[in-house]
Amino acid sequence: MRKLRSYFYLLVGLVFVSCSKSDGPIEAGIEGDAAYMVTFTMHWNNTDFPTDYPSNAHFSPLIGWSHPTTSDFFKVGTTATEGIEDMAETGGTGTLQSELEAKIANNEGLDFVLGSGLGSGEGEITVEIEVDAINSAVTLVSMVAPSPDWYVAALNVNLYDGSHFLESKTVTAAVYDAGTEDGITFSIDNPATDPQGSISLFVDSPLGDGTNLSADFAKVTFTKKVLAE
């Protein structure tokens, strides 16, 4: 009888541990989720980036999601999806939204966000986003407009240290080429790249010297929100 009782307790213990691991952190003091206010500050101006600076410089609506740090969506060297292509070439967000929401529905992400655009090259776009211990990274993108297929992005920004979410974090956003449309300056009327190329970091003229951008194009600040009890 004692052996049966011991076996029963062991079985219950294993079930408890298994459930605990799948449900995320349960130890005292370990954070399981958080929310952030994100400020995307654009610095695209004709002083730092004078080459061919367009009179109608602007940015498309900011779009993105929180996801695992292992996600390769938007990763340099991969092929742009239809949604990424549409965002990078036209500023459209509908297809990309559907792609990101499908990832979330497939447990490949947590929270989708769609912010405003910006009617000039300088200014701020703010959004709020939720993260958790599994989906602790954030990716946010916006088309550099007008342009062939260039976009500014903060990619795979991890906000978790393994037990706690950072109080704040600031990163420098980079500019990327979707590899879907030809063109060497700020225009949207260009032929498609055939065959389609891969996503790459963009540091060439008119924004850079082939190695680096002429200046910081954008800064992104993540500020942790105080959640109501």
Segment 177-188 mean pLDDT: 96
Tell me whether residue 58 is in a domain: yes
Segment 168-184 mean pLDDT: 98
Instruction: State the Cα angle at 197 between 191 and 203, rounded to 5°.
Output: 90
Tell me whether residue 153 is in a domain: yes
Of 57, 10, 1, nearest to 188 (Cα)?
57
The range of the structural domain enclosing residue 147 comes to 32-224
pLDDT per residue over 19-50, tens digit each?
333 344 445 568 899 999 999 999 999 999 99
Tell me whether residue 3 is in a domain: no
pLDDT per residue over 97-147, tens digit each?
999 999 999 999 999 999 999 999 999 999 999 999 999 999 999 999 999
Tell me whether residue 16 is in a domain: no
Tokens 């540091």 correspond to: 203
Start-end of H helices in 69-129: 82-90, 94-105
Tell me whether residue 99 is in a domain: yes
Of 23-37, 53-67, 146-160, which range is least confident? 23-37
Query: Which positions ≥6 away from 179 have C-beta within 8 Å?
Result: 79, 80, 149, 193, 196, 197, 198, 199, 200
Instruction: State the Cα angle at 109 between 105 and 114, rounded to 5°.
Output: 90
Residue 212 to residue 160: CA distance in whole angstroms: 29
* Residue predicted with more confidence, 220 or 4: 220
Query: Model-level pTM?
Result: 0.86
**Given pLDDT bands bounded at 50, 70 and 90, which one contains residue 228?**
low
User: What's the confidence (pLDDT) of residue 16?
Assistant: 34
Tell me whether residue 87 is in a domain: yes
Tell me whether residue 83 is in a domain: yes
Domain containing 53 — which CATH number? 2.60.40.2130
Start-end of H helices in the chain: 2-23, 82-90, 94-105
Tell me whether residue 151 is in a domain: yes
* Count of structural domains within the chain: 1
